[in-house]
């Protein structure tokens, strides 16, 4: 397991949790079993991140594009999400974690919203760590949403189009309300962003792990943070001037 320095921790880490299906297939089980094991990995990694002192963790749990998966798989994922929100409620509140959801959450089934919305409200004042769940999330869709809002405001005469800068757009993007991601990590061996945090990815360090998400543990997270720290050792990653 790698050493992690307490200083120079990434403040905001985004994780593309990939590889559940392959994990299950390798064991001769159905994909659902992989998602269930993936859910246990989420619990582990949230706990470790909170203990480490990471200030924001954004987890890609369900993409806008994942709605196109077979209905049975979508239902299983929604069921696991509800179960996660119920079983983690006390731990989230007791540990000062603020839970937020990013994405088109209006598309989520009612039974998920009934667990999600009250927990988001109850934890909204917590300050130890923000856990952002990307649900029905797509970065292009998120940018389009901001573009529509800005166009509407411009037509209503509330903003001047010449004032629309990259910085203004960033300030309106929900996934960046906790700051830009310093580190984006993808498990499962694929090396692509799959529509995750595209606007915020501009300056992020990208780290790819071959570990399948259900197997991802504390040591793997430390390895990824160690890689981040090795790469950013030469400069101060939180230096705003670098952000351009
Ligand atoms: C990631 O694992 C979980 C979600 C996308 C919900 P996958 O289900 O994509 O697993 P693989 O990539 O098929 O192994
Ligand atoms: C990305 O994984 C989405 C999540 C982890 C929720 P996918 O498995 O859905 O992405 P692709 O299909 O490999 O791009
Ligand atoms: Mg996948």
The domain that holds 97 is classified in CATH as: 3.40.1180.10
Residue 170, domain member (yes or no): no
Distance CA(175)–CA(135), nearest Å, equals 11
Residue 1, domain member (yes or no): no
Is 18 among the catalytic positions?
yes
**Backbone phi, psi, residue 127, to 5°:** -130, 0
Whole-prediction pTM: 0.96
Distance CA(211)–CA(189), nearest Å, equals 7
Instruction: Give me the sign of the Cα torsion angle 209, 213, 219, 224.
Output: positive
Active-site option among 8, 66, 95, 126: 66
**The Cα angle at residue 65 between residues 63 and 71, in degrees rounded to 5:** 95
Distance CA(205)–CA(183), nearest Å, equals 5
Return the pLDDT at 244. Answer: 45
For residue 188, the CA-to-ligand 1 centroid distance in Å is 8
> Where are the alpha helices (H) located in 53-165, listed in sequence order?
71-94, 110-122, 139-155
Nearest-CA residue for atom 12 of ligand 2 = 194
Residue 134, domain member (yes or no): yes
Q: Can you tell me whether residue 58 is helix, strand or coil?
A: strand
Residue 241, domain member (yes or no): no
Residue whose entry in the numeric block shows the structure tokens 């390895």: 223
Q: Contact 50/97 with Cβ under 8 angstroms?
A: yes
Neighbouring C-alpha atoms within 13 Å toward the C-beta of 209: 27
Nearest-CA residue for atom 3 of ligand 2 = 63
pLDDT tens, residue by residue, 68-88: 999 999 999 999 999 999 999
- Nearest Cα to 203, choosing from 146, 242, 164, 166? 242
Residue 198 has pLDDT above 50, yes or no: yes
Q: Which residues line ligand 2 (CB under 6 A)?
A: 16-18, 60-63, 66, 190, 192, 194
Residue 27, domain member (yes or no): yes
Q: Which residues line ligand 1 (CB under 6 A)?
A: 17-22, 62, 66, 77, 188
pLDDT tens, residue by residue, 121-150: 999 999 999 999 999 999 999 999 999 999
The pLDDT confidence band at residue 173, using thresholds 50, 70 and 90, is very high
Residue 205, domain member (yes or no): yes
Q: How far is CA 211 from the centre of its chain?
A: 18
Is 66 among the catalytic positions?
yes
| Number of domains into which the chain is organized | 1
**The Cα angle at residue 14 between residues 180 and 3, in degrees rounded to 5:** 105
Name the residue of 34, 36, 76, 133 to mutate for ligand 1: max ligand atoms within 8 A of Cβ: 34
Name the residue of 62, 188, 213 to mutate for ligand 1: max ligand atoms within 8 A of Cβ: 188
The pLDDT confidence band at residue 184, using thresholds 50, 70 and 90, is very high
- DSSP, res 179: -
Report the length, in residues, of the chain: 244
Nearest-CA residue for atom 9 of ligand 2 = 66
Which atom of ligand 2 is found nearest the CA of 134? 6
Residue 165 has pLDDT above 90, yes or no: yes
136: left (phi over 0), alpha (psi -120 to 50) or beta: left
pLDDT tens, residue by residue, 24-55: 999 999 999 999 999 999 999 999 999 999 99
Structural domain span for residue 226: 9-138+180-232
Nearest-ligand number for the alpha carbon of 65: 2
Residue 155, domain member (yes or no): no
């Amino acid at each position: 397991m790698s050493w992690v320095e307490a200083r120079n921790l990434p403040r905001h880490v985004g994780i593309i949790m990939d590889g559940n299906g392959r994990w299950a297939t390798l064991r001769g089980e159905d994909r659902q079993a992989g998602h269930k094991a993936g859910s246990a990995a989420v619990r582990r990694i949230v706990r470790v991140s909170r203990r480490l002192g990471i200030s924001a963790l954004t987890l890609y749990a369900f993409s806008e594009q994942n709605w196109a998966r077979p209905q049975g798989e979508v239902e299983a994922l929604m069921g696991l999400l509800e179960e996660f929100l119920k079983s983690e409620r006390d731990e989230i509140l007791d540990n000062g974690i603020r839970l937020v959801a990013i994405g088109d959450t209006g598309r989520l089934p009612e039974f998920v919203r009934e667990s999600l919305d009250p927990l988001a409200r109850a934890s909204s004042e917590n300050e130890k760590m923000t856990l952002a769940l990307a649900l029905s999330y797509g970065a292009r869709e998120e940018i389009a949403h901001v573009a529509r809002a800005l166009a509407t405001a411009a037509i209503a005469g509330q903003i001047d189009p010449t004032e629309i800068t990259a910085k203004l757009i960033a300030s309106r993007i929900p996934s960046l309300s906790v700051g830009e991601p310093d580190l984006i990590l993808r498990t499962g061996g694929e090396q692509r962003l799959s529509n995750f945090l595209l606007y915020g990815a501009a300056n992020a360090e990208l780290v790819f792990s071959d570990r399948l998400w259900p197997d991802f543990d504390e040591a793997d997270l430390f390895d990824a943070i160690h890689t981040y720290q090795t790469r950013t050792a030469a400069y101060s990653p939180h230096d705003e001037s670098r952000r351009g």
